[in-house]
A and B are shown apart, each in its own frame.
Chain A
Amino acid sequence: MNAESRERLPGLRLGLVSGACLVLLTLVGIVEAFSQREIVSGVLSMGEGLLFFTGLFIAYLAADRGLRRAGTGRALAAGLVCGLAAAALLALLVLLSKAVNLRQVLINASPAVFQMLVFQREELEVGLALLLAAGLLTGAAAAGLRLLPPVPRRAVTAGLVCVAGLGMLQDTVYPVLSSWGPVAGLADLVFEGLGLSPGGAVALFVLTAAGAAFWALQGAAVRGRIAGLSPGGRRGLRIGAFALLALVLAILPQALGLFLSEVLTIVGLYVLLGLGLNIVVGFAGLLDLGYVAFFAIGSYTVAILTSPELGFFSLSFWQALPFAVLFGVIAGVLLGIPVLKMRGDYLAIATLGFGEIIRILVLSDSLRPWLGGAQGIGKIPKAEIVGFEFGGPQEIYYLILAGCLLVGFISWRLRDSRLGRAWMAVREDEDVAQAMGINLVAAKLLAFATGAGFSALSGAIFATKIGSVYPHSFNVMISINILCVIIVGGIGSMPGVIVGAFALVGLPELLREFAEYRLLVYGAALVAMMLLRPEGLWPEATRRRELHEHEEQAGPTPDAPAAAAAGRP
């Protein structure tokens, strides 16, 4: 705290952080990879957008700190300094690139990207001046945004997010919209080339901002009116909303087309896996890093029982499914027994090992006649119900949706049950949970078994979706990805799992350029989350309380001095 208040230039520290981020983004090649795409055609490419929004965001944070510490003037100064410092670091990078050949070490440091940084100017001085000016403008914009009253600030933010989001996702959104007769013309107006048309961007910004402003001003009134409805009316509204949601979910694959349906199925599988792991990690607090093992067990059970390639059995998918879940549950208990006494880090390491054991077993040559070895098992039949085959992604979607609904319903009921309460107590304090009369062994094993069962279920669906299973599909990264999904979504929160899966699995699928930088993005997302929103995107109530209690309970309490005295006997 003291170090920061001694800082002479407000925002300098964050500005250097911002600059370092921008330099990193440039040097790893993301900026160049993304400059193929456009957010607003001819105005802002995605690479430029990435730099701009990163700088804007960090300058916003700087302005926010300045405002809290010393008011408006300092906020503005902090924003400007932060923006300028970031741009200055980029400018230094450009100068460095002219002096030495960075490419010998950093292969992504291409002349094209540096040309982009100086706004394609031939004269270096002019380009660098423009770059610094852009930094200052970004900083000023961030500070201005921070100094706006809450309602317009929210409106502008919503507008920016909407424009950036739709622009980035042009190649997924545009084909879908243009295939819907009535809105096809509209889509042509809004989109142009590889991004939004300038006019479309402005229109979108204004519309979203107006919508957000309306909701900020009138949302409370609308909510109040809903709360004021008669119980019957409220129930009617809820049924209506559910019916609408059900309808949307039902027609989604037809409306979105093949590619997006495929993305949806992948996201859906992660939701399924995430809901399962959420029981183990989120509800019961048992950090399981070998979760992929149960996914593999589900997949391999279905493969072995159904594939004609091995020729042991030729069950249908539906006959094999119960076995897959059963074996998953059994494996969950078998893993659970030896790790019952382990906590925290030790548990994580032990489960990590279990995940690897399963992968190495299915990879093993000596088990090849039964498990297929490195070549895996193919020719897994599709699932079928009375002649309807779950063949392509548009059909598999329904299978996964059904799985998600089932698993979501079960976890929801479990969370509020006696068992859910037992899990909560175990998560908070194992010893005391026991002293409250909770059977620790049963609670832990049930958590492992339930989570494993859900994981095996999604493994089974995965096997029939892909049609073949290979050992390399079940590496430790899957476990880590699922864990990231629930951390980013909010540990213990079920809507959080869905949000997390869309953010961490869905978005990278849509932005194919991300694929290469996936781990970088995960890492950055996790660090940013931990710093800015440690409770996750859609947190569970208890966790939000824990991390923000000082804000909620800021009011003076009658015996605050007594509490302070008790804390320091």
Chain B
Amino acid sequence: MIAAPVSQAAVQLPARAGLWARPAQARTITADSIFAYMDGAGELYIGYRFDRLEVYEYTAANEYDILVEIYYMAAPEDAFGLLSLDWGGEVVDLGDTLALEAGRYRTPARALYGSGLLRLWGGAVYARIMAYNETECSRSAVLYLAAVIARQLQPAAAPELLDRIPEHPLPGCRIPRENVSFLRSYLVLNSLYYLSEENILNLNLDCAAVMAKCQLDGQSPQPWILLLQYPDALKADAARQRFSDVFLPEMQDGEHVCPTEEGWCGFRVEESMLMIIFSAPDQAWTEKLMNSISL
């Protein structure tokens, strides 16, 4: 079931940011119009529980525009998911305006900046503020706009599913927070880790998933953990069955680990949860890793 949008008042933006001024009205993009606005990129946002997007283009004489995109999502985890797809960039301290709600999982950042683009997450909002050309002036304006936006957002915790990913699951194995992403769509999964041309895990907006790349000493390729939460046990088992049939067709019924061209692959299903390990070094390690994570 898709959650109703959380209550997030529309973010109010200042009329000016340094040299730049905004138009009187935002352009509002909905799921129906997102492909006209960003053909080829709309699937990324539709791949999460998207409510609407508000766009402002700040302009200034003799300067490139600054684009402000404020994505209103159905829930904080959807906004978090968008930021989590790329933890690269300089961590921006926006004070405690984006304070974390009680929760065990510590995210690498709430706002990240790089080469003119600032991305931030707060509450059910994900925002992109982009100067087409980075200058000292544009950087100041971008950071100012980010601070204004952050002050208006509600605090929120990272998705609970991330609490199940340990930072040090086994000796010699680490899962940096910067290697962890939250998603609901197989297209998004494929952009992180190409699995299949089809949706062989039956992912949709009712599901939640975490993809995490391990750092294991001396191992190439590195192992990956995919943790999936389905609406119920039947759906989790159906996904497990389809994955097994398509991805591991040589696996015998009753088995749950199998060698592949990129190391060992294993899975474990428990009620509505499914965990899959890719590119593990051997069978025993695969089993140990699966047992180290509580579903």
Partners in one complex: no
The interface of chain A, by Cβ under 8 A from chain B, is none
The interface of chain B, by Cβ under 8 A from chain A, is none
